[in-house]
Chain A
Amino acid sequence: MSELPLKPRTQKSRKAATMAVAGGWGPGFIVKLILMALIDAIGIFGVIQAWRAGSTTILVVAIILLLVVNYVYFARRAIPGKYLVPGMVFLLIFQVYVMLYTAYVSITNYGDQHMGSKDAAITAIQSQHTAVAPDKDPYAIVVLQKGTDYYLATVVDGEAEYGTSDQPLEALDGATITDGKITAVDGYDIVKPDRDNWDTLQTLAVPLSDDASQGFLMTERNGTQAKVYLPTVRYDKAADTFTDTETGLVYHDGGKGQFVDDAGKKMPGSVGWRAVIGFANYKTIFADTKMMVPLLKVLVWTICFAFLSVATTFFLGLILALVFNSPRIKGQKIYRTLMILPYAFPGFMTALLWKAMLNRDYGVINKWIFFGAEIDWLGNPWLARLSIILVNLWLGYPYMFLVCTGSLQSIPSEMMESARVDGAPPLRQFRSITLPLLFIAVAPLLISSFAFNFNNFNLIFMLTGGGPLPGTGSDTKIPGATDILISEVYRLAGVDLGTPDYGLATALSILIFVLVGAIAAFSFRQTRKLEEMA
């Protein structure tokens, strides 16, 4: 750690510093104490909640963060940390964690048929493969409880028998039988199913005998009757396999989130789970020409769209800013306010409005401006692209207008004056003084605007939905004419079809992230040159 350069201290600041070192109770310290106490309270509350919910990761992270924050703000040495820690914490939670999680999902097959955990999948397979035995009468039963264990007890040939999931029905001692029903059992409580024990009772399946094919008993919600169920598959916990009770076929964990037979074929009626499948998703993207070729086309349009959006909005914004910066214009403020109105409405609402206005048959654009001509603004690929750019111009120019106005006003008037004195014509003044100075201030914003439009999902989704689709559009994975990468990712994710593939979609998102990151890094390097020039 390098020492911070020490500035000469004033009398007052030296006094404050001594106070802090001495641990005084100045007003600053009290404010800090209250703030830290609040943060600690929220943190400890979070720790307690994480403990209750049993999520170890959050628990550990919360404790570490709490300790770090407290150390930084109460130790005297960690001065740079005091400035950096809040930002770092938020960066960790909202950026780094999200990125790592996305990267993790991209190496799994999370999606349709692979939604939950393996345990949940096994439970689901078992419950889906359990049918009521058609020719067997239900048993009259009681539910017994001893400590935290539950048992089903019934009367077979006048004798009380009981059992659990692991222990088939066997003789039960100490039962009182009245009218063929068990009314009391020594050492056990007769209980009713209720909302607290139901989860346990639903897993209580008592085999009728050692021969599992005889079926098993499961209590109904009233706790007095149990039907005989026959499993069509049997799960072997030790071997982690399912066996079909009719055919005897054995299905094992195929490593891809499904139970499969020896030939690798999926078990009929199987439920999958989320499994790590390595780089298979990335391989699909690069190896499958059916996916790669359309994606490259989409990439070209995405870059065109982002570039044109920035260019058009910037130039319109700049021209308007120049015009309204002139002191000769009256009512500057009113115009400026009107100018930023499109910026004040939520973007997705504006996009929806434009979608309605551009409707071929009912839209006002065709009706009023083109006298009822049936121009298919959003149905023709090139017109749709044009519409997207124009609507984005409407949405984006106020921002550029604001930014340009701001930086124009910050250009020192002496510079312009000296240029004028030197006899430079207005165009030369603009090109040699205004524009370079403007660019220094605006260039980083242009880059961020590019990155924003590169992923401008809202506009595309709300205005065209990526369409028009090529041909009949019946291949749901092929992108439409206005699909940008992120909207194509959404299409491939298949959420709307009910067959989502989050693994593939996140793999694509990671690629987009790398791409945008590279473009931004390159552009920032270029702007540095710009600064040097000036």
Chain B
Amino acid sequence: MKRLVAVAVVALGLTAGLAACGGGDKSGSGGESTTSAEATEEATVSADDDNPAADPADADDGNPAAGSYDCSDASQIQGEITVWVDETRITALQPAADLFCAEQGVKVNLIQKVFDDLRKDFASQVAAGSGPDITVGANDWLGEFKTNGLVAPIDLSGVADQLSPAALGAFSSEGQAYGVPYGTENIALVRNNALISETKATTFDELIEEGKAVGQKYSVIIPMGDAGDAYHMYPIQSSFGAEVFETDAEGDYTDTLAMGGEAGHKFAEYLAKLGQEGVVKSTITGDILGQAFTAGEVPYVITGPWNTSTWVASGMDISVLPIPSAGGEPAAPFMGVQGFYLSAKAANAFDAETFLVDYLTRADVQLELYKLGGRMPANLEALADPSITDDPVAKGFAEAAGDAQVQPSIPAMNQVWSPWGLTEVAIADGKVTDPAAAWDEMITNIETAIAENAG
């Protein structure tokens, strides 16, 4: 009996200790166990910082009351939200997170993740009821997120007139917005001015000839990699008129593939030719493109703003140009839109939505993201900022966008990327003898996969 009592006493004591260590749950926003030291600190802070618990007055402006909080003082933090970002955006978002904390008293936990993991981790974790409140992501994830009920609609009506309609549309489905767009991106032809300073070519074939005349290791590079890169090939493909999906009367994508038939065959043949020229190969990845370009081994590459911003920063002299057509029609790249999604299972949806709608749409926040990532802001005021309008690189990308097509965000797009890329690898690497037949095989396989998934 005595022993039992002893065990119970020790166990209880240890449990209490553990509970004290792990007591970081969300039940109380201040906590009742304020130690005397914290209490005095709080008192001094509120003395010289007039009333941190701001009064909820002036509600008519639509925004929740903005107060002023000292975020280095844990006792002033009213709540917290978690935002998943990748390494390229975490620095750019920190000022917005600090501002949000200072004005709303809500701590923003920026969690850095690898971009490739964001999508699947968000899908599996939100479905299981956990995951972040907000994640950064591309507009073409919307289809998957929406059909799985992972993202919540956001009321953007108050800020809609500040954002580019195209960017907003890319994050909307059936009239509802599911994300806050912050940046648009498209690829273009990038020239190393140290190797060649003038581009006369009007077709892609002429461009290859020009590139060859420079006499470096490569003439033109389009990145590919083992799994293929249909995104970077798309301007070439669209210049043959082989667009990915058909569009309906309102210009929305339908589930019907449009890249088969004659136009697709012509592109497939041309791709095989590009492979023979060494312009595209599965062994040339985005990394190798970067190395070759900075080493001056290639005069022309097709790439996006994520690369050019580093190249300009390192002092290279580059020009950004529209991609010459290969098949006669304009070479239209995809316009990808990057933005922030609100989780359907957000632990703190109130503050998360405030952060999304009232902070991430702001011109200064989006301009900061532009400076570090090079993507054109979705906020119209930021887009008109002199730092963008006077930037030749930004102007070049805007011109190259031309009649860029918004990257499809319909669920069927999931069935397209992988077979599309792999088939392009097989054709470019010369693994198939008949490119047109390989292309047809791909079309059939994608159509089957789309039908199976829709059923």
A and B associate in one complex: yes
A residues sitting closer than 8 Å to B (CB atoms) are 23, 29, 33-34, 36-38, 40-42, 44-45, 48-49, 52, 70, 74, 112-113, 115-116, 120-121, 123-125, 127-128, 130-132, 192-195, 198-199, 202, 220-225, 227, 266, 269, 271-272, 359-362, 379, 465, 467-469, 471-476, 495-500
The answer on a CB contact under 8 Å between B175 and A113 is: no
In the complex, whether B310 has a CB less than 8 A from a CB of chain A is no
Q: Are A222 and B59 closer than 8 Å at their CB atoms?
A: yes
Given the complex, which residues of B lie within 8 Å of A467, measured CB to CB?
Answer: 226
Per-residue contact bits, chain B 424-444, to A (CB 8 Å; 1 contact, 0 not):
011101011000001001100
Q: Is the CB of B349 within 8 A of A472?
A: no
Query: How far, in Å, is A361 (CB) from chain B's closest CB?
Result: 4
Contact of B11 among A40, A128, A379 (CB under 8 A): A40
Known interface pairs A115-B150, A359-B283; A131-B10 also in contact (CB < 8 Å): no
Residues of B within 8 A of A121 (CB): 149
Residue from A70, A132, A476 within 8 A of B157 (CB atoms) = A132
Q: Any chain A CB within 8 A of the CB of B354?
A: yes
* A70, B62: Cα distance in complex, Å: 59
Q: Is the CB of A222 within 8 A of B148?
A: no
Q: What residues on B are CB-neighbors of A198 within 8 Å?
A: 349-350
Residues on A with beta carbons closer than 8 Å to the beta carbon of B422: 469, 472-474, 476
Tell me if B46 is interfacial: C-beta within 8 Å of chain A: no
A-B contact pairs, 21 of them (CB 8 A): A37-B11, A40-B10, A40-B15, A41-B11, A41-B17, A41-B18, A44-B11, A48-B15, A128-B146, A128-B153, A132-B157, A195-B106, A223-B59, A227-B157, A271-B149, A362-B288, A474-B445, A496-B418, A497-B417, A499-B414, A500-B120
Given A34-B10, A271-B149, A472–B350 Cβ distance below 8 Å?
Answer: no
Asked if A472 and B426 make an inter-chain contact with CB atoms under 8 angstroms apart, the answer reads yes
Query: Which A residues are in CB contact (< 8 Å) with B446?
Result: 474
| Interface hub of B6, B144, B148 (most chain A Cβ within 10 A) | B148
Q: Which of A48, A361, A362 contacts B19 (CB 8 A)?
A: A48
Interface residues of B in 140-181 (CB under 8 A from A): 141, 144, 146-150, 152-153, 155, 157, 174-176
Chain B residue nearest to A66 in the complex (CB): B11
CA–CA, A475 and B414, complex, Å = 13
Question: Do B176 and A131 touch (CB < 8 A)?
Answer: yes
CB–CB B64/A127 < 8 A: no
B174-224 residues with Cβ-Cβ distance < 8 A to A are 174-176
Q: Is the CB of B150 within 8 A of A473?
A: no
Q: Are A195 and B350 in contact (CB under 8 A)?
A: yes
Smallest beta-carbon distance B29→chain A, Å: 8
Q: Which 4 A-B pairs have the closest CB atoms?
A: A124-B149, A41-B14, A115-B127, A474-B419
A497 x B414 contact (CB < 8 A)? yes
B441 adjacent to A499 (CB under 8 Å): no
In this assembly, does B281 line the interface, its C-beta being within 8 Å of a C-beta of chain A?
Answer: yes
Q: How far is the CA of A495 from the CA of B174 in the complex (A)?
A: 27
Residues from chain A with a CB closer than 8 A to the CB of B290 are none
Task: State the Cβ distance, A225 to closest chain B Cβ, in Å.
Answer: 8
Q: How far is the CA of A110 from the CA of B423 in the complex (A)?
A: 29
Q: Is B79 an interface residue, CB under 8 A from the partner?
A: yes
| Given known A224-B60, A473-B419, contact A193–B25 (CB-CB < 8 A) | no
CA distance A380 to B198 in the complex (A): 42
The verdict on B247 contacting chain A, using a C-beta distance below 8 Å, is no
Is B279 interfacial (CB-CB < 8 Å)? Answer: no
* Among A115, A120, A127, contact of B153 (Cβ-Cβ < 8 Å): A127
A49, B226: Cα distance in complex, Å: 46
Establish whether residues B176 and A499, one from each chain, have CB atoms under 8 Å apart when the complex forms: no
Tell me if B368 counts as interface (CB < 8 A to partner A): no
CA distance A44 to B415 in the complex (A): 48
- Chain A hits for B175, CB < 8 A: 131
With beta carbons under 8 angstroms apart, the residue of B18, B120, B350, B414 that contacts A194 is B350
What chain B residues lie within 8 Å of A471 (beta carbons)? 426, 432, 438, 441
The distance in angstroms between the C-alpha atoms of A188 and B6, with both chains bound, is 53
Q: What's the nearest-Cβ distance from chain B to residue A257, in Å?
A: 12
Of the candidates A38, A199, A202, the one whose C-beta lies within 8 Å of that of B14 is A38
- Which residues on B sit within 8 Å (CB–CB) of A123? 149, 344
CA distance A41 to B22 in the complex (A): 13
| With A41-B17, A499-B144 as contacts: A269 and B350 at CB distance below 8 Å | no
CB within 8 Å for A127 and B152 given contacts A193-B350, A202-B349: yes
Q: How far is the CB of B103 from chain A (nearest CB, A)?
A: 15
> Which residues in A have their C-beta under 8 angstroms from that of B148?
112-113, 115-116, 271-272
